[in-house]
Amino acid sequence: MSNKIKNLGASREEEGVGEPPGPRQELLLRRIHTTASAFLKEHVLTLPKLPSHSELKELQERRRLEAEARLAAEKEAGRQAEARAAEILRRRGDRDSPRPLPPNRTSPHHHPTNLTPRRLPMEEVVVDTGWGADSSAHNVTETDDPLIQQMNIIRNYIKQAR
C-alpha cells in the first residue's frame, strides 16, 4: 500500500488523468511511504513466529495443568480457612461454656442457706440516652473472618440485652 501511495502521482501522470503532483504532494507521499515502511520494520517484522501445531498443543496442556493446580490450591486454601474458622468457633464455644467449680467449693445456688435465687443488680439506664451497644465487649481479633466477627458482635448484643 505504501508503494502504491508513493507512486500515486506518477500513475496519474502516466494515465494522463491530471497534472503531475507538486513538490509538496511528492514530499507527503514519500513521507507516508517512509513512515509505513518504518512501522512494518518495527512492529510487524519483529513479531515472534507462530507456534507449530505440536507446540500449540503443548502450550495448551501446560496452561490447563497450571489452571488445575491453581484451582486445587484455591480449594485447599478455602478448606484451611473453614478449618481455622471452625477451630476459632470451637475455642470460643469452650470459653463461653460454664466451667466446673473446683471440688472444694460448691455453687452458691446449691448452698443450703441460699434457698432463693440471687438476682444480679440491674444497671441503670438513663432515659435520655437509652440502651447502647457496648463496644468494649466485642472480643474481636484481626484474624477472625468478618462473618464470625459479626456473629460475635450479635452474641454480645444479646448478652447485654439480657
DSSP 101: P
Domain membership of residue 70 (yes or no) is no
Q: Which of 1-10, 41-50, 91-100, 134-143 has the highest mean pLDDT?
A: 41-50
Position 111 scores a pLDDT of 47
Question: Is 20 or 57 the better-scoring residue by pLDDT?
Answer: 57
Residue 161 is assigned to a structural domain of this protein:
no
pLDDT at 73: 94
Domain that holds residue 33: 2-47
Specify if 141 maps to a domain.
no
pLDDT digits (tens, 9 = 90+) for 25-83: 888 888 988 998 888 888 888 888 888 999 999 999 999 999 999 999 999 999 999 99
29 within domain boundaries: yes
Is residue 74 domain-resident? no
Residue 15 covered by a domain: yes
Percent of the chain with pLDDT over 70: 62
Q: Which residue has the cell 443450703?
A: 112
Tell me the whole-structure pTM to 2 decimals: 0.33
Identify whether 72 is part of a domain: no
Mean pLDDT score across all residues of the chain: 76
Please check the confidence at residue 134 and state whether its pLDDT lies above 80: no
Which class for 5: exposed (0-12), middle (13-18), buried (19 or more C-beta within 10 A)?
middle
Structural domain count, the chain: 1
> 23 in a domain, yes or no?
yes
Contact 137, 77 (CB under 8 A): no
Burial 98-110 (b: 16+ CB within 10 A, else e): eeeeeeeeeeeee
Q: Between 47 and 138, whose confidence is greater?
A: 47
